[in-house]
Amino acid sequence: MSISMSEASRRSLAALQGLSLGDALGMPTQSMSPDQTAAAYGSIRTLRDAVAYQPIAPSMPAGSVTDDTEQALVVSHLLIEGKGHMAPRSFAEALLAWEDDMIARGSLDLLGPSTKSALERVRNGEDPTTTGTLGTTNGAAMRVTPVGIANDVTVAERFTEAVYESCLVTHDTFQGWESALLVAAAVSFGINGEQTHEAIAKALDFVQRAPRHGVWSAKASVLARARQALDVTRAASRESFADVVRDYVGTSVDATESIPAAFCICEAYAENPFEGLCVAANLGGDTDTIAAIAGAILGASSGPEAFPHAQLERVSAVSGLELASVSEQLVELRYARI
């Protein structure tokens, strides 16, 4: 590894902080259209309370995180307990327990479509290693950041297998694995000291070279769509950028749209990470996940200074997050497994 453990720790914490901040910025606008967002909030430029008619998180206070952060923390704890591994049944049971807890709390922010479908099959007695064959949405990618922290991408074979282990139960498709590998690799390259543009470029090349995992699906390659999206948005002006992402990339929960959208945000706003997360929050569609993924990559490749301290503190306080301890344990796994 090219940087010290202390610097890796700083960048790892920044990845989790960026994930949670992006998630919280996108919370009030998730599943809303750009017009609905503008009518409700004007423009998201800071953490905001959700309006009472927010379809997923009605009236949630500013700084609240969603399933993106909470499931990433589920993965974190499983990795720590399993010394870098997640047993399929333990993973399935942990996610089912998480949703049961959310329902008990009266939350509408539950499992996504691919994860829900797979875990209902587990609940009905199916083998959790066989339930993820329809998962082509962004659920695996949204919660994979801890895998990128706990594993060094330069140990290629083990890194690839660790990411696939995190996809198997719910997103055992080529698109599910490809999307998670892109995000985890970008995060891991950032933790190794690469700046944002280099982390993105190296992640794209890493996935291009990696042996394919997951079952075939008729949907497009996430990698190919990400490369195409980056080419299209590079030519966009600041004023047209968001419209170009909406029209040519897409902002839905489908992995072929939301992961390329997040990568475009990272590249366009590498020098202004917080502004990029605000742009993501105003896109419409799956704003919390797009902003969370972008925040994780930007945090890992830029460090904690990427985001306003007051905003990070508010998310931590409102959502009761203890990210420093989790980050430190994940980094210890990374160094123990070199």
Q: Name the β-bridge partners of 254.
A: 137
CA atoms of 296 and 302, how far apart (whole Å): 10
Indicate the residue type of 65. Answer: V
CA atoms of 110 and 143, how far apart (whole Å): 14
- Are residues 169 and 129 in contact, defined by beta-carbon separation less than 8 angstroms? yes
Indicate the residue type of 119. Answer: L
Residue 116 confidence (pLDDT) = 84
Q: What 3-state class would DSSP assign to 99?
A: helix
Please provide the size of the chain in residues: 338
User: Rg of the chain over CA atoms, in angstroms?
Assistant: 18
Residue 108 confidence (pLDDT) = 60
Residue 112 confidence (pLDDT) = 76
- Number of neighbours of residue 275 by Cβ within 10 angstroms: 14
Residue 28 confidence (pLDDT) = 98
CA atoms of 311 and 319, how far apart (whole Å): 12
What burial class does residue 260 get, using C-beta atoms within 10 Å of its C-beta: 0-12 exposed, 13-18 middle, 19+ buried?
A: buried
- How many angstroms from the chain centroid is the CA of residue 112? 13
Number of structural domains the chain divides into: 1
All residue ranges of the chain with pLDDT < 70 are 1-2, 105-110, 337-338
Residue 96 confidence (pLDDT) = 86
Q: Which residues of 7-40 are buried (b: 16+ CB within 10 A; e: fewer)?
A: ebbbbbbbbbbbbbbbbbbbbbbbbbebebbeeb
Among 57, 77, 58, residue whose Cα is nearest residue 67: 57
Dmax (CA) for the chain in angstroms is 52
The set of long-range contacts for 247-251, using a CB threshold of 8 Å and a minimum separation of 24, is 249/225, 250/285, 251/283, 251/284, 251/285, 251/286, 251/287, 251/290
Which domain CATH number covers 49? 1.10.4080.10
Cα dihedral sign, 140-143-148-150: negative
SS3 content of the chain, % helix, strand, coil (to 5): 65, 0, 35
> Can you tell me which residue has the tokens 């190296």?
202
Domain hosting 288: range is 5-336
